[in-house]
Structure 1
Amino acid sequence: MGGAAGGRRERLTLGVPGCAHPMLAPMEWGELARPGLGALPGPRGRTGPLRWAVLDIAGGPGSRPDPYCAPAACALRASGVAVLGHLDMRDGARTLGDLVSEAHRFLEWYRVDGFYVSRCPSSSALLPETSRAVTTLRALCEAGHIVLSHGTHPHEGYAECGDQLVTFSGSWADYRWSQAEEWTAGHPPERFCHLVHSLPRTHLEEALRIARWQGAGTVCFTDRTRCRGQEPWDALPGYWDELVSRVGPGVSE
């Protein structure tokens, strides 16, 4: 599992790629807004490990403002967690107009702090098109945070587009034998994110070591699985408190 990053030891942060709708998962959204958990300075200047969380109503912003989502997004921002609107590029099949329309709705209805672009293309052929889309999103959301979720290592040029790249999204069975591509060593860990599901609690420390070794600065791990069509990110992991404590400030590494 050797990584090109050489085991850099910077502090890890957490990113949550989306929980179930706030009406269905009020406890999860309440936990994400817990004081002291957010990575952005709060009223007392303290910071926690949770950098961002994704807001996804129906594969995007939905067709009208949702009365449950606006308060949830507001609570997260107040606690120092960046709220990212979920945009689906469908591997380049979406038009720029569709993405811009959804981005406007996210900004108008939920005042998001940036965007999480799922199914982002990875090939060099679609890099110019993706770059134009990201440039447009940045113009709409000044100083917004853009996460490009490829799920695998994309062409190196994508590192010049997004603020963060999701270079791994998959199961623990695949992650434990994964490797970082050499070009990632030329960028700081904060540029990369790993999302791992089906991870047993007993392997949590091992997964954290792999993330650090491969140069990922943001992670999210869960023991939830895709069994029977379930979405593993709909609920927080059973070991959420332990995960927070292991990556939080003051934790010995």
Structure 2
Amino acid sequence: MSRSLLVPFYEHPADRPEAWAALTGAAPSLHGVILNPADGAGEAPDPAFAEAADRLRAAGVRVLGYADTAYGRRPHAEVVADLLRHRDWYGADGAFLDQVSTAPAALPHYRRLAVAARAAGAATLVLNHGAHPDPGYEELADLLVTFEGPWDAYRTLDLPVAPHYCHLVYAAPPGFRPATDVHCAVPGTGAHPWGTLPHFPEPAR
């Protein structure tokens, strides 16, 4: 089974234990899971997230720590502090930087963040632009999220596709699969679509 799903699941394990169990059970189809305890690592370790991360890693799944970059406005040191907490508290072996600028002027800032993320142990680095960025970002990360948005917008677009591009689509119908090799499509809508899980493929028999 292809490890194609990069899953942002922003729900607390204590509130949705059955969903987190399903996520771990789908390990063979997962490229990685984005861990986001408190719009970042939070101010103190959360034992429920630590246990969930342990289970995912034991199942062979990448765990990516979430850090908001506010399109380049959040200070470098704050972003790096988030990544170090994810590593130290949850054993994250990757990083998911959210709200990343698409502009060439911000490239030096994100180049420094990419170096710091690797130094913090991020074997996998994902930049979530949500739209197609300046080509200079391609050398900084393993994956670039070049679309994040609803299915009704996604299906009207003719987006570039490459092995290092990822599309995250919400409000998606059952069975829908984005065009990129690594992707995620969930049924959730509204202000919190990433509180729902994708439709996992059936395991091979």
Considering the TM-score relative to the shorter chain, is it more than 0.5?
Answer: yes
Aligned to 2:197: 236
Match 1:199 to one of 163, 172, 192: 172
Could you say if the C-alpha distance between residues 12 and 110 of structure 1 is closer, same or farther in structure 2, counting changes exceeding 3 Å? closer
- How many positions carry a matched residue from both structures? 204
Please list every run of 5 or more consecutive structure 2 residues that lacks an aligned counterpart in the other structure. Answer: none
Q: Which of these residues, 132, 139, 142, is aligned with residue 163 of structure 1?
A: 142
**Structure 2 counterpart of 1:106:** 86
Cα distance change on mapping 1:249 and 1:166 into 2, 3 Å: farther
Identify which of 29, 38, 53 aligns with 2:33. 53
CA-atom RMSD, angstroms? 1.7
1:49/1:249 contact within 8 Å kept: no
Cα deviation, residue 136, structure 1:
1.0
Change (3 A) 1:220 1:66: same
Does the 8 Å contact 1:73/1:110 carry over to 2? yes
Contact 2:6-2:182 at 8 Å conserved across structures: yes
Gaps of 5+ in 1: 1-10, 39-47
The question of whether the paired residues in 2 share the 8 Å contact of 1:61 and 1:85 is answered with yes
User: Which is higher, the Rg of structure 1 or of structure 2?
Assistant: 1
Taking the aligned partners of 1:156 and 1:49, their CA distance within structure 2 comes to: 29
Q: State the match for 1:224 in structure 2.
A: 188
Could you say which residue in structure 2 is the equivalent of 1:33?
A: 24
Question: How far apart are the structure 1 equivalents of 2:84 and 2:30?
Answer: 25
Shift of 1:68: 0.6
TM-score using structure 2 length: 0.93
Between the two proteins, what is the percent identity of the paired residues? 36
Of structures 1 and 2, the one with the larger relative CO (CA 8 A, separation 6+) is: 1
Misfit runs of 4+, over 6 Å: none
d(CA) in 2 for partners of 1:27 and 1:19? 14
SS in 2 for 1:99: helix
TM-score between the two structures when normalised by the length of structure 1: 0.76
Deviation at 1:249, TM superposition (A): 6.7
Tell me whether 1:174 sits opposite 2:153 in the alignment.
yes
- How many Å separate the matches in 1 of 2:102 and 2:3? 25
